[in-house]
């Protein structure tokens, strides 16, 4: 189904990236054709499905974006078996590197599709008004998520003396001056993300049930808590978490169900996930093959992560010797299916709980509820309860809970920490210190060449 939806939206910004005015002419004509062809709620749903399909690409959440958060940390490393992820793992790239180019391009493709949906908000389409509002609300949330992910990869917020403006272009339409957009500041991007997420929440129904394979109001609120934690906006993080918790629609997966939850569609902890099947997936270019594949298996686990998880903790079962090559520690559980059909959960309820614990702690170090929230996770994993809350304890629990999901690098960056060098042989990046220019990807050469307003990041 996703492939059929993608065919519809493939007309939109085919091969999109910033390009010359001459090159843009056919692209703009294609955009016009698609926009004039949207007449009904069903048409709009098809276009939204195309945006979702673009998120599932291996260049975005289908693989690469998640791996970037692991190999640039003390969780994993790239062993070079198939030659993949070498430059992100070493953290030495040029503006011609394929990884920043492909991810930059793919995420802006998502934004392009979302923008066309949003443009139809008041277009008088045929269909149920509430359904149309929900679809548009989802597009606002996806646009916010995409810009946030670009900001985390390419922004200069945590680079000492970084390029100014320090953000990325927040693109709401591809017309006029927005064809060669300038960089916004990180604060401007943050506020635009908040505005999009607030708009999304206002359009989508409260307490909507059904599948977590589409964005919901809770998804938008949980995403807002993630953004707020990243920017140390603790009051916003707190209220966003409370809004999700107050719906009682999600729960922490128990210790008994934790391992199997990675094989479960619409698990009770899944707030937003990407749907795959045995016939609709990215195949060997996905997370399964890069973590464990017999031909790939490039991303391996550092012993320090394994040692950070107690023997009684159910998460100890995540890591073990690779059955095909016992020399390596590997991710055994997350994204396990050999037919590549696993859904990829992008937002879990456990993140909301840990975001809430961190926000409570930052707002009032003496708030006993912060410890209560933190220990909700340990209790559900068979781990030893914490006796006190500290930033170190919060980051440790996040490391244990979200390993292999792409969180670790960004947790280190947002808290101003270096990348711990726990294995000098395998960690080819050498453990950059906080503020190093390597904490941001280079702006792709293709973007610099075609967009005269774009400024390169420091160090490239």
Task: State how far the Cα of 438 lies from the Cα of 459, in Å rounded to an integer.
Answer: 8
Give the chain's mean pLDDT. 92
* DSSP-derived 3-state class of residue 425: coil
- Model confidence at 209, pLDDT cuts 50, 70, 90, reads low
**Is residue 176 pLDDT above 90, yes or no?**
no
**Is residue 59 pLDDT above 90, yes or no?**
yes
- Model confidence at 20, pLDDT cuts 50, 70, 90, reads very low
**Is residue 19 pLDDT above 50, yes or no?**
no
Q: What value does the mean pLDDT take over residues 284-292?
A: 95
Q: Give pLDDT, residue 221.
A: 98
Task: State how far the Cα of 327 lies from the Cα of 230, in Å rounded to an integer.
Answer: 36
Q: Rg (Cα) of the chain, in Å, rounded?
A: 21
Helix axes 129-154, 64-71, angle to 10 degrees: 40
Q: Give pLDDT, residue 211.
A: 79
> Does the CA dihedral 24-30-31-36 come out positive or negative?
positive
- Model confidence at 21, pLDDT cuts 50, 70, 90, reads very low
Which tokens is 458 given? 């420091």
* DSSP-derived 3-state class of residue 330: strand
Task: Tell me the pLDDT tens digit for each residue of 407-448.
Answer: 999 999 999 999 999 999 999 999 999 999 999 999 999 999
**Is residue 172 pLDDT above 70, yes or no?**
yes
Q: What value does the mean pLDDT take over residues 170-188?
A: 89
Q: Give pLDDT, residue 35.
A: 64
- Model confidence at 226, pLDDT cuts 50, 70, 90, reads very high
- Model confidence at 373, pLDDT cuts 50, 70, 90, reads very high
Q: Which of 310, 334, 307, 308 is nearest to 253 (CA)?
A: 334
DSSP single-letter state for residue 386:
P
Task: Tell me the pLDDT tens digit for each residue of 312-366.
Answer: 999 999 999 998 888 899 999 999 988 888 999 999 999 999 999 999 999 999 9
Could you tell me if 451 and 18 are in contact, meaning their C-beta atoms sit under 8 angstroms apart? Answer: yes
Task: State how far the Cα of 108 lies from the Cα of 12, in Å rounded to an integer.
Answer: 12
Domains of the chain listed by start with CATH number: 2-273+288-450 (1.25.40.390)
């Amino acid at each position: 189904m996703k492939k059929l939806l993608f065919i519809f939206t493939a007309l939109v910004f085919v091969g999109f990236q910033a390009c010359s005015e001459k090159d843009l002419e056919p692209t703009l004509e294609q955009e016009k054709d698609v926009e004039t062809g949207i007449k009904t709620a069903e048409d709009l749903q098809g276009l939204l499905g195309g945006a979702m399909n673009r998120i599932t690409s291996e260049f975005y959440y289908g693989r690469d974006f998640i791996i970037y958060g692991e190999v640039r940390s003390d969780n994993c490393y790239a062993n070079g078996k198939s030659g993949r992820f070498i430059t992100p793992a070493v953290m030495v790239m040029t503006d011609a590197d394929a990884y920043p180019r492909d991810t930059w391009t793919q995420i802006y493709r998502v934004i392009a599709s979302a923008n066309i949906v949003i443009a139809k908000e008041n277009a008088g389409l045929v269909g149920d008004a509430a359904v149309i509002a929900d679809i548009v609300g989802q597009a606002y949330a996806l646009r916010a998520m995409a810009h946030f992910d670009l900001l985390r990869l390419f922004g200069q917020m945590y680079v000492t003396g970084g390029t100014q403006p320090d953000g990325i272009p927040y693109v709401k339409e591809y017309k006029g001056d927005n064809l060669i957009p300038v960089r916004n500041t990180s604060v401007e991007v943050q506020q635009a993300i908040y505005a999009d997420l607030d708009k999304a929440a206002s359009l989508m129904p409260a307490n909507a049930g059904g599948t977590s394979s589409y964005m919901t109001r809770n998804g938008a609120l949980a995403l807002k808590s993630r953004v707020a934690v990243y920017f140390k906006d603790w009051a916003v993080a707190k209220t966003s978490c409370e809004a999700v918790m107050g719906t009682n629609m999600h729960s922490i997966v128990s210790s008994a169900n934790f391992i199997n939850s990675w094989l479960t569609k619409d698990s009770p902890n899944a707030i937003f996930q990407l749907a795959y099947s045995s016939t609709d997936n990215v195949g060997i270019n996905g997370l399964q093959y890069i973590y464990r594949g017999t031909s790939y298996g490039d991303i391996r686990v550092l012993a320090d992560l394994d040692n950070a998880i107690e023997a009684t903790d159910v998460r100890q079962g995540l890591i073990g010797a690779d059955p095909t090559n016992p020399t390596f520690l590997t991710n055994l559980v997350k994204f396990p299916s050999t037919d590549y059909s696993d859904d990829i959960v992008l937002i879990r309820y456990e993140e909301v709980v840990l975001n809430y614990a961190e926000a409570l702690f930052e707002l009032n170090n003496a708030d006993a509820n912060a410890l209560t929230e933190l220990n909700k996770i340990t209790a559900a994993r068979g781990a030893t309860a914490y006796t006190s809350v500290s930033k170190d304890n919060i980051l440790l629990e996040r490391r244990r809970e979200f390993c292999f999901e792409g969180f670790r690098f960004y947790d280190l960056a947002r808290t101003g920490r270096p990348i711990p060098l726990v294995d000098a042989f395998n960690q080819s990046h050498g453990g950059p210190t906080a503020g190093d220019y390597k904490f941001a990807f280079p702006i792709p050469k293709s973007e610099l060449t075609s967009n005269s307003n774009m400024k390169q990041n420091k160090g490239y």
